Amino acid sequence: MRTILTLAVLLCLDAHHTMAAEPLDETAKKFAAGYNFLKQQKYQEARTAYEVGLQQQPANAMAHFYLGDACRGLKAWACAEEHYETSVELDEKSSVAALAKQRARKAKIWRLLDEEKQAINTPNASPDMLAQAEDTLDIVNKLGLDDEQEARYRQLREKIEQRHKQSNEMPAAAPLLDRSMVLVPAGEFTMGSVGGDPDEQPVRKVYVGAFFMDKHQVAVSQYARFLESTHQDSPPEWTLMNKQTNQSRPVVNVDWGEADAFCKWAGKRLPTEAEWEKAARGTDGRTYPWGNEPPTKLYATSGKDIWSSHTATSPVGTLEAGKSPYGIYDMAGNVWEWVGDWYDQDYYKSGPLQNPPGPRKGDFKVVRGGSWGSGTDDLRAANREVHVPSFRGFGTGFRCAKNP
């Protein structure tokens, strides 16, 4: 108990030290409230309090540690892993650094176990999916498991063996969509923006047929499997990007052709501009994926200045509050996303109102959604940005779509 009280005092002292000598500012109050919620095991309230406080003091290592604890209590393992690691990065000599490292490793193990449980339980999981799950479990086992994790690990190994036996005994069937994608139903939506840039006008009602969209931006770990399978050249800064601490963050520095090749390898495709915008804003004409409220760090990863060896990005699927109406994550911020369309600034004036495929040719490809370095305007669902197809950037990634 004495250790816990000492850490709480250190947290508040750190908050006071880094602010402009105010006796008890709002940030310190948020941190104190978050700590009290933690003691009461009110983990969601604690998480919210620390996230709000960290908007004002993002370099507070102790606050990141306690936010990791709150996420751990919620079993939000990606969030816990990220904030424990951030706590260590900010202060490797803090009184909780060793504990943060230990808990970050455990959170990573739980995250990987949960991800592979989802993959293994996917109906009609392909042999490739099962092989990828086995590879990940090998990595997990090497990280060192506690008793509870060991039990989960053995359950998943047994499940994989069962799935292998089933696939050998049953006739081939048409593959079903895995749970990493979301169905966006057919129908009209409002495309464009009255108050936006000229290339977002005129605003019009566009009909888009049903399609599936990835729930998450393509992560480094997924792209690593693609490179291993296809032997394609890795993107610049891949060694740094491919560190274990970055596996769940979105891949960046890929050009349009590489994004297109990945989606085809995965049996998917890049979404059209119209599909992307509908998936981001739904049918009510909202400004952002979450609604019309201005962006905050609870909604989107944005407004940062430096790539910081890929830590400026957030692990995919971290920001629950920022989801689109269809439950799709990171449609605003984190990384820009390549879409399939060529760019024409006047396309909205002449393009078809039903399943617009984009111009037949052009000099530039479209990216959507903004990134970790973007301002408020770039995060709007209607905003359009362009690059030459060979462009690479630390803030540019992608996700895939698929026909039903």
Q: Is the bond leading into 202 cis (omega within 30 degrees of zero)?
A: yes
Question: Looking at residue 17, what is its pLDDT?
Answer: 40
CA pair distance 32, 30, nearest whole angstrom = 5
Question: Looking at residue 269, what is its pLDDT?
Answer: 96
Q: How many domains does the chain have?
A: 2
Instruction: Output the pTM of the full model.
Output: 0.59
If asked whether residues 314 and 395 sit together in one domain, one would say: yes
User: What CATH number does residue 309 fall under?
Assistant: 3.90.1580.10
| Domain ranges, residue 271 | 181-402
If asked whether residues 238 and 343 sit together in one domain, one would say: yes
User: What CATH number does residue 50 fall under?
Assistant: 1.25.40.10
Which of 145, 174, 203 represents a domain boundary (last residue)? 174
Sole residue written with tokens 């804003």: 281
Question: Looking at residue 375, what is its pLDDT?
Answer: 95
If asked whether residues 210 and 252 sit together in one domain, one would say: yes
Which of 174, 207, 234 represents a domain boundary (last residue)? 174
Question: Looking at residue 101, what is its pLDDT?
Answer: 94
If asked whether residues 146 and 264 sit together in one domain, one would say: no
If asked whether residues 208 and 170 sit together in one domain, one would say: no
Which of 143, 174, 205 represents a domain boundary (last residue)? 174
If asked whether residues 201 and 163 sit together in one domain, one would say: no
Question: Looking at residue 18, what is its pLDDT?
Answer: 39
If asked whether residues 97 and 228 sit together in one domain, one would say: no
Per-residue pLDDT of the chain (404 residues; tens, 9 = 90+): 333 334 443 444 343 343 344 434 788 888 999 899 999 999 999 999 999 999 889 999 999 999 999 999 999 898 999 999 999 999 999 899 999 999 999 999 999 888 888 777 766 666 767 777 788 888 888 888 998 989 988 888 888 888 777 666 544 333 334 578 999 999 999 999 999 999 999 999 999 999 999 999 999 999 999 999 989 899 999 999 999 999 999 999 999 999 999 999 999 999 999 999 999 999 999 999 999 999 999 999 999 999 988 999 999 999 999 999 999 999 999 999 999 999 999 999 999 999 999 999 999 999 999 999 999 999 999 999 999 999 999 999 999 999 98
Closest CA to 149 of 167, 159, 137: 137
Question: Looking at residue 63, what is its pLDDT?
Answer: 92
Closest CA to 251 of 164, 174, 353, 334: 334
If asked whether residues 198 and 119 sit together in one domain, one would say: no
If asked whether residues 241 and 141 sit together in one domain, one would say: no
Question: Looking at residue 140, what is its pLDDT?
Answer: 82
If asked whether residues 377 and 239 sit together in one domain, one would say: yes
Question: Looking at residue 97, what is its pLDDT?
Answer: 92
If asked whether residues 251 and 330 sit together in one domain, one would say: yes
If asked whether residues 86 and 125 sit together in one domain, one would say: yes
Question: Looking at residue 28, what is its pLDDT?
Answer: 87
